[in-house]
Structure 1
């Protein structure tokens, strides 16, 4: 999985790095000023009272190039981790330990993704490839005032490169391990004196390389490949006091799902089994495994600049479709044909599990209208309205592997969500050194949901269930920024936000639709943002504490292949984040980032079903079940799943003028500590700490209006492989991070 791969291009910090707009041979002894839009205004990142990390320009291109999907940011930004059990689609984001492990296509997340000021609510939308992007910002902590209802942990914000009157573009191509090819490019410029356009394209391709060695199902190159294509076209009209920006984007991905591996974890430990091979699986349903993703969307941003105000309207439509089918048990056998048991392996396979999930129809419509003041005095404000409308259809399938994959279970879920909000934010400058911001948002959310099971793999019969949860909430925040001196800013922030009610209706193997009521969070943080050594260094540090009430959690799996939503009474989290960047010499730059997150569930009555074959460390008790007594683990005192306590990243960049160009070498060392895959704690399902290293070296030069770059790179240099995700309801099935990746890239820019 690319989620834990670390980019070999490590020339810049994810926390405080600006674009390098100079020619390859130019050098700067000072760090760049970073301009961000975390509060929907262009501001200096060092003066914004929010824990925000930013990456932009050529360095962002380097990190996200060479076949990487959005998970390239995993463990690169303090307190941010990203993972997926679908592969290149359906990323799950975690900030300061808060996230959602639910793999159902209706799952909500407490970390929002906003692309070009449009929220991407469904998890499939969040997997859109990253290319021709101007800036990425990660806002940690609740962001409910300006950005909405499902941001109690924070948000990730992407802004693509916009059209301009200047003609420019770029193209890059790379080739790497396992026949991976990555091409992306863009070109833009003026159509008239007032109208400009930009077209951006991406094509990523990788051959199937994983062999299937299950007896009777042998197949070379059965899994592991994909073809991912995406494009974006934008038109920008610039009048005297009016601008209009139209954006249309589309994606088509055809590949195979992530490889599930049965009993890949040694019993009684969290080690990979002896003889593990990354390019081998033992599946009896690999020939039917597939994943197709199609998405498209359009937005229209209109902006009027008045004498003292700006009016902004953003209208958007997004749509996604997916079908993903996989051998979930990760092995072969576990069933009988004509009452004759079929040999099973690797290890013990209690039963076969082959399933698929799909979204045949999805439409999301959003509308935002806001008024922002542009006063020259001490007071400024923003007020706005927001509307959200989503229609979603989900299909869940189960297949009988013993009958050559015949359909034996089917559920269709349908959900309509309507939400609206009114919000406002006020900035007041008390003195030149002391500023305060306060914000308020009222949100109203309503869902209409139905789940219709027409075929049951477990003999449960037809079932039709409905739910109609709704809620409203007032989110708020207040923050202050105090300039201690010209180089040091101190800030403090208190914020409250919520996540709207969620529904879990994947009833293939259960007879219950579960609803989680709204979760609310109140967060406290304070920090220092400083420039040191006369602009050659930057040190930003934050400490925080939060309490979440009624946290929405997903009890995934257990002894049965069933997801259930629960609310935890209370969850607390605290920690710190450190971002630093240094110009060590004219030729050597360095960054060092570190975060610590401690999370704890506090609920004496909360218990969930546990795994079928693992070694549970939590206290347990038994309850009656359909097939006998079932164990339940008590969760009080546990940390949250997929919440590493430590995340750290060190980068070094060396550049040397050579023969009219620049030789460069980058290295990146990233670390994340141990994680629990599930709400309960077990020996086998504790992911080990992961330390990975990348290296990139090459040569860059300029000729006329063209800039060229050729490089070689390696990711996961020491081929560190660990289990990074698991399936617990059958055997000790695991998912493993990607192996070492070696490649070369050529890039050209033109003006």
Structure 2
């Protein structure tokens, strides 16, 4: 183990030293702007480079360097962005491999491997649809754009909430590079690096990599006997290894033709989410006394998780003189598994599962045997400076996977009561979609620009049950469907107006309609329950806002919005605690968000963000299963409850009409500030900090005294020295500096909690070639 850790650290240090040495040797001509002027922010929210202030869309931007600061402790590169911009939230109860995203309160709490989400993730112009692909880490990042509200015209289905768009650093004809190496608590190592430049006059390359490691730091106190071979011990879970590399080649065979080829590999293994059983006491949501470093798991082999992903894309652009044709062809493939003790350790209740059939035990595993995603997009767009701009395009999407789900009886050792080697299912999922779209904008008056876009999309999903969950003797007991096909064709559109009040202030209004395609939930077959399905949901969203730059030192943007989602897809629990899909009549919401970037004096930069949100489910007919264990309601339900007999046992359901959407924070506040103190001609000492406060957030569909948080806070701090006009930087940092214990998710029937990562303190070294 010591030798392995030494190799990890030595390899990471060697890579950082290479980039840093090159950066030291480079005599950077310009430093990071330490004055008071704001830099222009260029976004591609409408598929063409534009000033953020000129786009009639609510869009927030996070720079690549800020994102690297957020992940210096080894945090997940996507989850770390939660709360860093208004109206954006992210969480997981399935480990790093399955993040879930929410914009303006819209998301999906379903943990099924085939679940769809209304927030689309796009990396380097490639849409990542499957939940595993959405977890692909982002590194050597240029910037992130968070597009709030439906984006169906240009980006398609399943963008009813919005888009998180990542653009990495691309090859260029100038030598450039960056590397940031950090080391912190729990032997946490984070190396994010990239370097590139010309090979010839018309060929440039860039290689980028991410290496993250953390030692296992969570003890498993379970001492046996066991049911499935699980062994406890000291420091047996909680760690991870993330290894990623990307290689890009940019060729310009002619002055009018460019081709960017990209290939990436991901290898990840670590620990899935730790559910802390009985961390919540009836009547309270307090988790301050819960241990982060000790569990009592009697099953699931200490919650392993392992995934491999490969992918590549070919992005070609032809300039025909005033018209540009772009083709993006991409392929992604992935496989892996995630296993967990979903009951959070039944041995904590005073008995072990080897003595008799275990009443309250639970473990499961989801395995992605194979996933293949092909996408092809063509766009034809105007490329002139006139008052009229347009673009037309088409998109084809094809995703196929083999997914398996295993339940507890499959894992039991020979001789243990209840062992069943047939307690698993295999599913074949196919999702195909095609779309045609167009958008046009016209400057009808010197200060007024109108934009309209439309798209027609056909979306088809098919699920086949290839293997049923049979009895130990091989008898088939499943009576549900073996084949389900859902298909829908929907239009999506948006219309906006942008009016320039003055050169520094503009106002805009936008109305948009989008949809999320139909969804099939096949995992329930492992419980011998029929598939559950949900029809398409549609959204109509209205928003208005302003964008302003006051002088050259302050940028202030704000927007207000309201939306209605019809036939909203929700996920609840059935009598087995298994997630099931259903449509509710509608959900309505309204809110506002604001962002401010301010350089009040030389060497001081401040950014502030705030969002307010009210969401409400509207359907008096819809009920959700509540926190029931062995026929007893274990939490404090605040909604009207009815009792029904399900599978011969009592089950309790709460009416959710009027409740907020789950994981939709009532408000969010974020602050970041940096102050530089020049000490040499090209050097400065700096201090930077960032903070997030999260308002009332309900984690389930019904209201309780336990399953919510209110006032979660986290902060980070970084102090260091930047030399040679930013060519290198040495700093100390802390993430979750106050070591807050924040509730982030729950397993209801076991009163189990998911909490945030502990405080990480460390040092970082950064080098840049400019």
Q: Same fold (TM over 0.5)?
A: yes
Residue in 1 aligned with 2:276? 261
**8 Å contact from structure 1 (residues 457, 509) kept in 2:** no
Match of 1:62 in 2: 69
Residue correspondence of structure 1 range 146-295 to structure 2 within 5 A: 146-216=154-224, 217-238=231-252, 239-272=254-287, 274=289, 276-285=290-299, 287-295=301-309
Q: Which residue is 2:25 aligned to?
A: none
Partner Cα separation in structure 1 for residue 183 and residue 351 of structure 2: 45
Partner of 1:653: 674
Question: Structure 1 CA distance, aligned partners of 2:233 and 2:447?
Answer: 68
Cα distance per residue 1:37-72 (max 9 Å; x no partner) = 000010010010000001224333333434122111
User: What is the match of residue 131 of structure 2?
Assistant: 123
1:692 is aligned to 714
Question: 2:334·2:372 contact (CA, 8 Å) conserved in 1?
Answer: yes
Q: Could you say which residue in structure 2 is the equivalent of 1:98?
A: 106
Give the alignment partner of residue 438 of structure 1, picking from 452, 455, 458. Answer: 452
Deviation of residue 22 (structure 1)?
A: 7.7
User: Is 2:141 the partner of 1:133?
Assistant: yes
In the alignment, does 2:577 pair up with 1:561? yes
Q: Quick one: which of 597, 601, 622 aligns to 1:606?
A: 622
Q: Is the 8 A contact 2:64 2:140 kept in 1?
A: no
For residues 302 and 599 of structure 2, what CA distance do their matches in structure 1 show?
53
What does 1:339-358 correspond to in 2, within 5 Å?
Answer: 340=355, 350-358=359-367
**1:15-50 residue CA offsets vs partner (Å, 9 max, x unmatched):** xxxxxx984475232111111000001001001000
- 2:407 aligned partner: 398
Task: Tell me how far apart the structure 2 counterparts of residues 283 and 627 of structure 1 sit (CA, whole Å).
Answer: 30
Answer whether contact 1:509 1:561 (CA < 8 A) is retained. Answer: no
Equivalent-residue separation in structure 1 for 2:213 and 2:158 (angstroms): 34
Query: Structure 2 CA distance, aligned partners of 1:549 and 1:583?
Result: 43
The partner residue of 1:495 within 501, 509, 512 is 512
For 2:539 and 2:393, the matched residues in 1 are separated by 23
What is the deviation of 1:378? 2.1
- Rounded to whole Å, the distance in 2 between the matches of 1:470 and 1:286 is 37
Residue in 2 that maps onto 1:4: none
Decide which of 665, 671, 696 is 1:644's aligned counterpart.
Answer: 665
Task: Please point out which of 545, 549, 563 is paired with 1:546.
Answer: 563
Relative distance call for 1:286 and 1:178 in structure 2 (3 A) is farther
Cα distance in 2 for partners of 1:339, 1:489 equals 69
CA distance in 2, matches of 1:295, 1:440: 34
Q: Which runs of 5+ in 1 are unaligned?
A: 1-20, 343-348
Cα offset, 1:79, TM superposition: 0.4
Query: Aligned residue for 1:373?
Result: 382
2: CA distance between counterparts of 1:457 and 1:279? 38
Task: Find the aligned partners of 2:532 and 2:427 in 1 and give their Cα distance.
Answer: 13
Query: SS in structure 2 opposite 1:430?
Result: strand
Cα-to-partner distance string for 1:594-630 (whole Å, 9 max, x where unaligned): 0011100010101121112211111011122114221
Given candidates 40, 58, 65, the residue that maps to 1:51 is: 58
For the residues of structure 2 that align with 1:685 and 1:250, how far apart are their CA atoms?
38
Matched residue of 2:720: which SS? strand
Partner of residue 651, structure 2: 630
Say which SS state the counterpart of residue 62 (structure 1) adopts.
helix
Q: Which residue of 2 aligns with 1:747?
A: 766
Q: Is the 8 A contact 2:288 2:741 kept in 1?
A: no
Quote the offset at 1:455 in angstroms. Answer: 2.5
After alignment, is 481-490 or 326-335 more displaced?
326-335
Counterpart in the other structure of 1:536 = 553
Residue 718 of structure 1 aligns with which residue?
A: 738
Deviation at 1:451, TM superposition (A): 2.4
Aligned match for 1:471, one of 488, 492, 499:
488
**2:438 maps to what in 1?**
424
| Distance change >3 Å, CA 57–CA 332, structure 1 → 2 | closer
CA-CA distance at 1:273 after TM superposition: 7.2
- Alpha-carbon distance in structure 2 between the residues aligned to 1:451 and 1:615: 38
The aligned residue for residue 666 of structure 1 is: 688
In 2, are the aligned partners of 1:223 and 1:286 still within 8 Å (CA)? no
Which residue does 2:334 correspond to in 1? 320
Deviations 1:479-510, CA, capped at 9 Å, x for gaps: 01000001100000000000010111112224
Contact 1:559–1:611 (CA under 8 A) maintained in structure 2: no
TM-score normalised per structure 2: 0.90
Check the 8 A contact 1:210/1:224 in 2, yes or no: yes
Q: Post-superposition shift, 1:448?
A: 1.7
Give the Cα–Cα distance (whole angstroms) in 2 for the partners of residues 58 and 119 of structure 1.
Answer: 23
User: Equivalents in 1 of 2:75, 2:533: separation in Å?
Assistant: 35
Q: 1:731 aligns with which of 739, 750, 754?
A: 750
Residue range with higher mean Cα deviation, 461-470 or 352-361: 461-470
Q: SS state of the match for residue 372, structure 2?
A: strand
Q: Which SS does the other structure have where 1:455 is aligned? A: coil
